[in-house]
A and B are shown apart, each in its own frame.
Chain A
């Protein structure tokens, strides 16, 4: 196996595991569109990273966090319906990102790489970012897990039982921003949400507890990465879309298999 394929596989599986474990909450909390909005805003982070001459990943995390906090604030003002608000933020931040990137085109940002990902260009440094960030993300997720599940089930009930809802939500937003920064390299901005949602959806019918579903989602995501990568090498497919197609196929297979019967 050539090095670049190994790097792609190792990096991709790392991202898929983190995305599976995070993605279940995106599905349970109906945050798919919110995830999309954050992913769209990531391009602006790339541009800002280049313009300021800082690490692009830091630019992405910064912009995603700003958008997430802005979203929480605007929602509390209750001027607009949530999906309208997300639509405004998603499209204006993507457009702003594209405009900003054109300013730094002298630096030859490969736009397609950011939009659709380029897993075959993963370097050992990227793998370091993925596994470093991934370990932190999974650690924080494990620490937040109980409270996050509790507020997903019922926010007010969790709060009256002593869960610090605001702290938990802010911590989760931060994780979310980190995950998107990590995932962009692999599948690209436009397909990030797919890898958060599709493996989680595929895991649903085989899971009896929230934890099982997170583990199965991580496995389904890793399988999608391996299969997509294989397809990409065999038939010279664009790697990001190939991974998403593989995830969709895994989902289709999952709904035809018999579900686990509940006890």
Chain B
């Protein structure tokens, strides 16, 4: 993969002092945030904590009222939204959906689908896919752009625990193979993967951040999530690879 020649730790996107208001409601206040090449950052926080808004500002879909978002020039960004809500009157198969990235060779599309664990879906009608299949197809579309930065908004929502573990393994493999930076958004506290390099806990502002194990014992984190915090499981994968 060509990305491997690029230095790990290179800052791909950086937000400084981000503040966003919707009407009179403050959504984000003074948020500093960055994602580096080769790292997996997990953004957690309760519903309404501003996770999606932060993602939208990092994607430059929304401009912050205060602060700045700087994206390294020339990088490609892959994004998977929380869900697709395609009107049932729109006839669209997976192939056509993936072709929107500009890649039209059936072989490459099939190979990518196999890579994300969704083989044989190429000619399926997209709105008939299950939640998990849809997430994988969205991931395939993001990967077809050969991204330097991958932003995944709630990729494991509505996926069962086994499916989540499998998905996290997939994301870890993608990072290792492609050396891209990955930002994962989750409201799900029950499974924070140990492959995450950093967890950032958001509630309008950054409550705390650090290694998954450290964050889960941080007082700010415990206060924010209360009872639910005790249920957090850190999924320990086998250490079958080494970081340089």
Contacts and interface: CB of A to CB of B under 8 A. Distances in A.
Interface of A: 27-30, 78, 146, 149-150, 152-154, 156-161, 200-201, 204, 207-210, 212-213, 262-263
A165 B79 CA distance: 16
Contacts of B96: 209-210
A161 B100 contact: yes
Contacts of B97: 153
B93 A208 contact: yes
A27 B90 CA distance: 8
A29 B87 contact: yes
Contacts of B56: 156
A154 B80 CA distance: 10
A78 B23 contact: yes
B145 A209 contact: no
At the interface, is chain A mostly helix, strand, loop or mixed?
helix
Interface of B: 23, 56, 59, 61, 77, 79, 81, 84, 86-87, 89-93, 96-97, 100-101, 123-125, 141, 145
Contact of B86 (A153, A161, A200, A207): A153
A157 B56 CA distance: 11
Contact of B91 (A150, A156, A157, A212): A212
A157 B59 CA distance: 10
A28 B79 CA distance: 23
Q: Which 4 A-B pairs have the closest CB atoms?
A: A28-B90, A160-B79, A207-B91, A263-B123
A157 B86 contact: no
Given A150-B100, A161-B100, A161-B101, A210 B81 contact: no
A28 B127 CA distance: 13
